[in-house]
Structure 1
Amino acid sequence: SFSWSGSQQRLYRDLWDQSTPKDIKEIIDCCGRKHWSDRKEGLIDLQQFLINGNTLTATELRKVTDIFTKMFMDSHTKVFSLFLDTLNELIVTHNEDLNDWLYVLCTRLLNKLGTDLLGSIQNKINKTLEVVR
């Protein structure tokens, strides 16, 4: 037998949780977890955090860039696509704070372009390179 109750509970929880902002520490922790769905949820929350005009402290930014450096190896296309969208928001929000990470970022982006990728991912990487420029 198949049950939708778990999905419904999560859907309703997600709808209600949108009204209360999530703690940035919790968001960063989610981004660094092993399970892809946790990373996906963390990226969605971080992207929303940045879109809402919030900024990260220097320590939080360092944690996020460390996690993002590792995320370039993520094998889940949906997570990687969302990662690139969130990365763009991070670059726009913290463009003056990322100078020491730009070499690592550009190297990872160019290395990723040299691999076999979906066209949509290639387009997103090119967009990210435009944002960096």
Structure 2
Amino acid sequence: MTDSVAEYFREKFQDLAKVYEAHPATLPNSEPEPDIAVVKIPASLYDSRHPYPEEIYLLIEVSDTNIEKDLEKKQFVYARAGILEYWIVNLEAQQLIVFQEPSTDNYQVQKTYSQGTIFTVVFPGIEILVEKLLMLS
């Protein structure tokens, strides 16, 4: 399920970022394993450690039955850690939920998409097709 989404991001961010699947990230109070993490390159940075918040461009959870955990607990943990952007691919509702602009207690921006083209904060020139993400999941 997440493999196809990760491959899509690898194609989109080739030579710009490293895309990990189910790989830990080192946050101030935890080490979560998001379904997909888009992080700074070179990948050799992570030979002996996991990515830190300032090295993470985007975290993605592909959610089929556990949407509450992704929407509530993880959203706050990622925002507090300063993760620039957090996406939830909600399979049940066939929606992409995008969180941006982290603050000390939550994300300041939340948008929901079921179609169209979107862009990441860090790579605003690269188009991501919402329908493709939902189809691949």
Decide: shared fold, TM above 0.5.
no
Question: Structure with the greater relative contact order (CA < 8 A, sep ≥ 6): 1 or 2?
Answer: 1
Larger radius of gyration: 1
Higher normalized helix content (fraction of residues) = 1
> Normalising by structure 2, what TM-score?
0.28
